[in-house]
Structure 1
Amino acid sequence: MGQVTIYLDNEHEQRLKRAARSAGIPVSRYVARLVEENTRTEWPDSIRAMAGQWQDFPTIEELRDTPPDSPRGTL
């Protein structure tokens, strides 16, 4: 397991400690979770589970059957 050293000013250090304490976990685990959440390459399972949950969401066929976009001008 790798180790990382970071340097924070006093204000940010205290904010980090408060946030970790509020989450009930050590600072190192709190930072590790932030890194994991902000560097993941897949949607979390909780987000993927929402797929198909909106019963009134149009199907792909309905979306493609709509009138085409208005003509666009050149830039």
Structure 2
Amino acid sequence: MSQITLYLDDATQALVDEAAKANGVSKSRWVADIIRTYAAHDWPQDCLALAGRFSDFPLRGDTAKEQPTDVPRQSF
């Protein structure tokens, strides 16, 4: 198991102490849990549940036919 050193100001250290105590875990465990939560590469479950919920959301294949024609551009 690896170790890291964190330099925290007093107010932040107090927050870590209080949160770890409130959750009944060590400070190391609490910090590790927070890192796992916020550094994860997975989409949150509530976000995944939204997939397909918007019936009027255009899909990639549908957008080409629904796009307006482009306007003439100014040449430089």
- TM-score tier (shorter): 0.5 to 0.7
**Counterpart in the other structure of 1:54:** 54
Moved over 6 A (4+): none
Q: Tell me whether 51-60 or 5-14 shows the greater mean CA deviation.
A: 51-60
TM-score between both structures, scaled by the size of structure 1:
0.58
Deviations 1:25-74 (A, max 9, x none): 42222211222233333324x13333212233223343222215556668
1:36 is matched with 36
Taking the TM superposition and a 5 Å limit, the aligned residue runs for 1:1-75 are 1-22=1-22, 24-26=23-25, 27-44=27-44, 46=45, 47-64=47-64, 65-68=66-69, 70=71
Tell me: CA distance 1:28–1:60, structure 2 relative to 1, closer, same or farther (3 Å).
same
Task: Name structure 1 gaps, 5 residues minimum.
Answer: none
Gapped runs of 5+ residues in structure 2? none
Measured in 1, the distance between the counterparts of 2:70 and 2:7 equals 51
The structure whose RCO (Cα within 8 Å, separation 6+) is larger is: 2
Larger radius of gyration between Structure 1 and Structure 2: 2
- Once the two structures are TM-superposed, the CA of residue 14 in structure 1 deviates from its matched residue by 0.5
Quick check: 60-69 or 28-37, which moved more? 60-69
Give the Cα–Cα distance (whole angstroms) in 1 for the partners of residues 72 and 18 of structure 2: 54
Count of residues in correspondence between the two structures: 72
